[in-house]
Copies of this chain bind each other. A is one copy, B any other.
């Protein structure tokens, strides 16, 4: 079970709600993914208008909502957005997202650290989104962050885990959940993150922008289950030289 703060989840897939072709596809993809945590940008929400609201439509009791602070470029802006979300009754859990570059959409380490510090003081359950920086991940954990969300690759690039060494450092040192976020493009990427010991994966565009989002949502669900099972089952080591899969002393008719 995935534990964030005092909540537990069976699913290890977090799904972003942005950029789906339409609301119907979005709803079906959410169902196919079997996610229990939906993320969305507070800045994009019409907080006064809940008529066509996914939050209400999807029966909020069945999902945990994880608003993010996308749009913030400073710690102060992130705090303001998080407070807005909490005041609207959305959630006191927040993905701390302070983007430092409009083109790569990579996070700003210094402002993210400050924002997390401020949000923790305000009583939020904080999940900061960071680059694959092991030192920053540990500092955030020491600060009290409830999870860390290292990017696999820049948002929307679909490249998978660019630096498995850094991700492995983060996973091995962490005492809070590690949720791999951003840059996932394919089920093999999501599975690899889980095989390495990540606790969960957050997806958005890899699903919403696939040719068939609903089918891809199911693919990702299966891949994340596969990767987790592999982590538990203990994969074979990488070797330089082959050994026969039908060795001299087999157990079958050996």
Residues of A at under 8 Å CB distance from B?
A: 16-23, 26, 40-41, 43-46, 53-54, 68, 70-71, 100-101, 103-110, 113, 131-136, 138-139, 153-159, 162-163, 165-166, 169, 182, 185-189, 191-192, 195, 204-206, 208-213, 215-216, 218-223, 225-227, 229-230, 232-247, 250-254
Contacts and interface: CB of A to CB of B under 8 A. Distances in A.
Given A104-B241, A219-B227, A223-B227, 20 more contacts: A26-B252, A40-B253, A41-B246, A41-B250, A44-B252, A70-B244, A71-B246, A100-B138, A106-B135, A131-B135, A154-B242, A155-B245, A158-B235, A162-B162, A187-B229, A187-B230, A188-B188, A204-B246, A210-B236, A223-B230
A250 B19 contact: yes
B136 A252 contact: no
Contacts of A233: 210-213, 215-216, 219
Contact of A109 (B109, B165, B241): B109
Contacts of A226: 187, 191, 219-223, 226
Given A226-B223, A226-B226, A105 B156 contact: no
Given A44-B250, A157-B241, A215-B232, A109 B134 contact: no
Contacts of A136: 100, 108-110
Contacts of A41: 246, 250
Contact of A246 (B18, B104, B135, B232): B18
B209 A254 contact: no
Given A186-B191, A233-B212, A242-B157, A108 B139 contact: yes
A253 B44 contact: yes
Given A158-B236, A185-B235, A204-B245, A250 B219 contact: no
B186 A101 contact: no
A216 to B, nearest CB: 4
A251 B233 CA distance: 40
A34 to B, nearest CB: 13
B238 A157 contact: yes
A94 B251 CA distance: 21
27 contacts: A16-B245, A16-B246, A18-B244, A18-B246, A19-B245, A22-B251, A40-B253, A44-B253, A100-B139, A105-B244, A106-B133, A109-B135, A109-B136, A110-B113, A156-B236, A162-B166, A165-B240, A182-B242, A185-B236, A186-B192, A187-B195, A188-B188, A204-B245, A205-B245, A206-B236, A219-B225, A219-B230
